Amino acid sequence: MPRERVYLFDTTLRDGAQTNGVDFTLADKLAIARMLDALGVDYIEAGYPGANPIDTAFFAEPRSAQAKITAFGMTRRPGRSTSNDPGLAAILEANADAICFVAKSWDYHVRVALETTDEENLASIRDSVRAAKAKGREVLLDCEHFFDGYKANPGYALACAKAAYADGARWVVLCDTNGGTLPHEVEKIVGEVCKEIPGDHIGIHAHNDTEQAVANSFAALRAGARQIQGTLNGLGERCGNANLVSIIPTLKLKPEFSEQFDIGVSDGALGHVARVSHALDDLLNRASDRHAPYVGESAFATKAGIHASAILKEPKTYEHVAPESVGNKRRLLVSDQSGRSNLLAELDRIGLSVDKDDPRLSRLLEEVKEREAIGYAYEAADASFELLARRLLDKVPRYFDVEKFDVNVERRLNANGERVTVSQAVVKVKVGDELLISAAEGIGPVNALDLALRKDLGKYQSYITGLELTDYRVRILNAGTEAVTRVLIESADESGEHWTTIGVSPNIIDASFQALMDSIIYKLIKSGAPAS
């Protein structure tokens, strides 16, 4: 049987841009659109031309996307004609392949928010769809609050959907705007709508307020809808939108869907979905969710020794899909619970081959256990684990020594009489016979130390120019009678690789220093820097 086509509509640049703290530049938007196009989504909703200068500029850019670039905006205002509505005119004039109008479909909102009549709202839908069709655009209608509206007045909600479809809208999109509808309700209501409008003209736009936006999208698909709207990493206001990064692998890898449906994402592109997800986080300058399904660092991580040995024999015993299919990898965590099989597998992944009876293996395991007892957590710090293993197996070159560092925090009045806090660090480094002294000011003591440390490493400087700290996490632990600080630092470099290092000490600066040093040394090893 031929498979049915399901269309993916990405709204990261429009609904995702509503997220608190997200502020895309034009360059960000163009970069995200390129990633989405390479991934193979069918529609890229890019924003509100005419209503927002960056969005207007986006639509003015030349482009070569395969995906349909979609402009978003309201249907004509009540009481106006389509030719006398500047907002509508900007949308119609924008260089877009498709236009997605948003309209009320809940009679209560029509009266209270729009302050107009049910009939005028229907006329606005019809007129706007016709005007966009006349401009040669593909038209979509987002029915706002469709599910709540349908529960309150099914006849009117359906009338809005049918008005758009009858006048030539390619898609009628049912929006769970508040995100409170449950999967069984979505499946029932979408099923009823599909009796009136063919399912291959119905889309679903789910929000994640009960953490079921992905489930709601699939419920709509099962009931007949053939377009799914969502965002990368579920970005979106409040609790976010349906997460396409979870939806795409499920559609591609779960036989219930993959045997019945085709999407525009190829198997090759699926293998890049983890990279796309992390690239968006990088762009937003936020740490990736380790526990994200399919793409998170922990998505295919196993801790207990007994599971690890089974995984090595037959991965399918513990993995629901192959990690490589989505561009992720299997991780067997080395931790205080781990057995030798985890350790061997992890060493193998790093590229250190050790005989399973090598006595150094027991020493390494002991060392990991002792350090974890005082607060280290190697399962969260892959690069520090690798360094520990390499040191015990005698494979870390000597690059440089930090002979001394000094960090100073001063709170004082500046020339304008304002109270300011200034952090300064001085680092004395020995590289071979060369003694280098660097000083830096930072926004805090750790930042100052980092800047001073990486300012001048002599002949090693060129190896670390692409090194960047992407996340810094601090936790106070109670180990024995005194509190200790655990610092985790996530770093990245020009190749896009991420790694995490750890430091533990009663002193936060000292803990940070350990993690910073591990990150630099890891980068030097990775870059093939020679010993001094």
Which residue ranges make up the site for Zn ion (CB under 5 A)? 15
Residue 185 or 209 having the CB closest to Zn ion: 209
Rounded least distance, CB 98 to Zn ion, Å: 17
Q: What is the three-class DSSP state of 234?
A: helix
Rounded least distance, CB 243 to Zn ion, Å: 13
In terms of Cα–Cα distance, which of 338, 266, 336 is closest to 306? 338
Rounded least distance, CB 146 to Zn ion, Å: 11
Q: Rounded to whole angstroms, what are the CA distances from 500 to 11, 461, 472, 523?
A: 31, 21, 10, 11
Q: Which residue is nearest to Zn ion (CB)?
A: 15
Long-range CB pairs of 460-467 (<8 Å, 24+ gap) are 460/399, 460/400, 460/431, 460/524, 460/529, 463/523, 463/524, 463/527, 463/529, 464/520, 464/523, 464/524, 464/527, 466/493, 466/494, 466/495, 467/491, 467/492, 467/493, 467/519, 467/520, 467/523
Q: Rounded to whole angstroms, what are the CA distances from 22 to 88, 281, 314?
A: 26, 11, 42
Rounded least distance, CB 244 to Zn ion, Å: 13
Rounded least distance, CB 102 to Zn ion, Å: 9
Residue 15 or 297 having the CB closest to Zn ion: 15
Residue 239 or 477 having the CB closest to Zn ion: 239
- Token duo for residue 283: 């762009």
Rounded least distance, CB 15 to Zn ion, Å: 4
Sign, CA dihedral 292-35-203-87, equals: positive
In terms of Cα–Cα distance, which of 92, 173, 177, 82 is closest to 126? 82
Residue 15 or 372 having the CB closest to Zn ion: 15
Residue 15 or 127 having the CB closest to Zn ion: 15
Residue 60 or 113 having the CB closest to Zn ion: 113
Residue 15 or 107 having the CB closest to Zn ion: 15
Q: Is 259 exposed, middle or buried (0-12, 13-18, 19+ CB in 10 A)?
A: exposed
Q: What is the three-class DSSP state of 115?
A: coil
Rounded least distance, CB 234 to Zn ion, Å: 12
The answer to whether 74 and 121 are in contact (CB under 8 A) is: no
Rounded least distance, CB 204 to Zn ion, Å: 11
Which helix (H) or strand (E) segment holds residue 341: the answer is helix 340-350
Which helix (H) or strand (E) segment holds residue 88: the answer is helix 86-93
- CA 116, CA 106: separation in Å to the nearest integer? 12
Rounded least distance, CB 253 to Zn ion, Å: 26
Residue 45 or 382 having the CB closest to Zn ion: 45
Residue 15 or 138 having the CB closest to Zn ion: 15
DSSP 348: H
